[in-house]
């Protein structure tokens, strides 16, 4: 236990904590996206899927607790690394050349706060204060019929895609999966996963705005 606590206090330990907690969140994001595809099957399918989740309290509450823990670890580790980097830098460099990992980190420091605001809005909109409690399909369609609401989700999901791409790419390096021969493949994997999630999630508000999904 003492070794684990000591490791987490190091820069490497915090990066590992970010990688593992990020993997948990990405896993949930993929599952969430797959479940939301039920919107294309109609209101009965999407509402039935939501009802099934709520009919198994250990599943939904266990997932919420795990996600809350993962988000907490991820945010605290990110803030600690940002603080250390800022203190170590001291003053601005006169000339700076960014590596891929540097670019990933800098981008994540921007997409992270955007995502946090987006997640809070998403929870308030669909989970905590829904317009039609129990009717997920109507909540989603009516919400996305408003261009401003759809705009928030589009911006949020673009930020999510960038964050996931850089997170997956950096996580492989943090966890030691880093070799010149295979780096192209981990980059391709990061692009593929982030692209599927981003395009899939963007399809929901766009389909409603285009009139493909209606009440």
The structural domains of the chain, ordered by start, are 2-90+97-209 (1.20.1300)
Instruction: Please name the residue that has the structure tokens 């991820």.
Output: 74
Per-residue pLDDT of 74-104, as tens digits, reads 999 888 887 887 777 655 545 444 455 555 5
Are the C-beta atoms of residues 215 and 138 closer than 8 Å to each other? yes
**pTM assigned to the model:** 0.83
Query: CA-CA distance, 18 to 171, in Å (whole number)?
Result: 8
Query: CA-CA distance, 177 to 173, in Å (whole number)?
Result: 5
Two tokens, residue 202: 């963007």
Are the C-beta atoms of residues 33 and 201 closer than 8 Å to each other? yes
Q: Which long-range contacts (CB under 8 A, 24 or more apart) does 189-196 make?
A: 190/164, 190/165, 190/166, 191/165, 193/26, 193/30, 193/164, 193/165, 193/168, 194/161, 194/162, 194/164, 194/165, 194/168, 195/161
pLDDT values of the chain reduced to their tens digit, one per residue, 215 residues: 555 556 556 877 888 888 899 999 999 999 999 999 999 999 999 999 999 999 999 999 999 999 999 999 999 988 888 788 777 765 554 544 445 555 555 677 788 889 999 999 999 999 999 999 999 999 999 999 999 999 999 999 999 999 999 888 888 777 777 677 777 888 889 899 999 999 999 999 999 999 999 99
């Amino acid at each position: 236990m003492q070794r684990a606590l000591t490791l987490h206090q190091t820069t490497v330990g915090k990066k590992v904590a970010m990688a593992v907690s990020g993997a948990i969140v990405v896993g949930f994001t993929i599952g969430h996206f797959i479940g939301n595809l039920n919107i294309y099957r109609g209101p009965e399918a999407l509402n039935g899927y939501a009802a099934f989740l709520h009919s198994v309290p250990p599943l939904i509450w266990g997932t919420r607790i795990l996600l809350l823990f993962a988000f907490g670890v991820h945010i605290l580790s990110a803030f600690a690394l940002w603080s250390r980097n800022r203190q170590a830098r001291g003053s601005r460099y006169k000339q700076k050349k960014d590596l891929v990992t540097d670019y990933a980190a800098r981008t994540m420091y921007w997409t992270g706060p955007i995502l946090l605001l987006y997640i809070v809005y998403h929870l308030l909109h669909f989970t905590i204060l829904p317009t039609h409690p129990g009717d997920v399909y109507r909540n989603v369609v009516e919400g996305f019929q408003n261009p401003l609401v759809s705009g928030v989700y589009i911006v949020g999901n673009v930020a999510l895609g960038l964050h996931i791409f850089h997170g997956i790419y950096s996580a492989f390096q943090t966890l030691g999966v880093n070799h010149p021969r295979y780096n192209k493949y981990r980059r391709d994997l990061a692009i593929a996963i982030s692209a599927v999630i981003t395009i899939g999630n963007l399809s929901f508000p766009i389909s409603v705005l285009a009139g493909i999904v209606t009440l």
